Amino acid sequence: MDEIIATDLHGRMGKINLGREDVTTPTLLPVLDPKNNIIPAEEMSKKFGFNFIITSAYLFFKRFGFPDDSMKIHEITEFTGNIMMDSGAYQILAYGDVEIDALLSLEIQSKLGADVGVILDVPTPPTDSYEQAKLKVEETIRRIEISLDHIKSHPETRWTLPIQGGKNTQLIDKYIDSVTEKGYLDFFKFQALGSVAPIMSQYDYVSLFSMIQTSRRKLPYNVPFHLFGAGHPMIFPFIVALGCDTFD
């Protein structure tokens, strides 16, 4: 966080300076398809007042292929505010696989000029056993390791550390301990908890809140914390009180 204005419980009102416009938190990020939208991005800004949205590097790749030098995500979406790009991990969660790898996803995000980027982690849905989730957490850590050179060479993007482990909160603990011990936290200016969409669809708020609480307790307080796939206005007050600064 670049400025903290007020706090209550674990929530805070603050500002994040992303270069284009300051983002006042807590805030909701509308999800936009990079090509097809019922509500145009420009209308999101002018009519509804959003200055921060999220779109998908994987969906861009599916719609347009690898971007050439003239393609920038702000021009393509016609959105002048801040844009976060998800890596494609949500599509892995929903469909099981994607046709891009971790490094290609990073290259797409950098080429397009994303303000906030995310590495391609491996989701840990609630159907996973402990051992299945553990293997996916280990693979996400491996992907962080192979992504570091790209992240270091593209500091203009605020890169996001994805948090995995799912309902197995002890895995979230171990994951955060591991990336902390390896010194990886310093390279990420955002943090984001993933794999919550299936938990949300089951209205399993106890597990969701436990995942958020475990993550926030272990992570640096001064770094913005995003919740992927929050999805339902019913929980917005609770996730803000637990320390989520942004959510989509």
The angle formed by the CA atoms of residues 126, 163 and 195, to the nearest 5 degrees, is 30
Q: Could you give the C-alpha distances from 34 to 55, 77, 174, 203, 236, in angstroms and in order?
A: 6, 6, 35, 29, 25
Q: Tell me if residue 86 is catalytic.
A: yes
- If you compute the radius of gyration of the chain from its CA atoms, what whole number of angstroms results? 17
Backbone angles phi, psi at 155, to 5 degrees: -75, -10
What letters, b where the CB count within 10 A reaches 16 and e where it falls short, cover 114-129? bbbbbbbbbbbbbebe
Indicate which residue of 2, 22, 86, 101 is catalytic: 86
Q: Could you give the C-alpha distances from 26 to 16, 97, 146, 196, in angstroms and in order?
A: 10, 31, 32, 19
Residues with a known catalytic role:
86
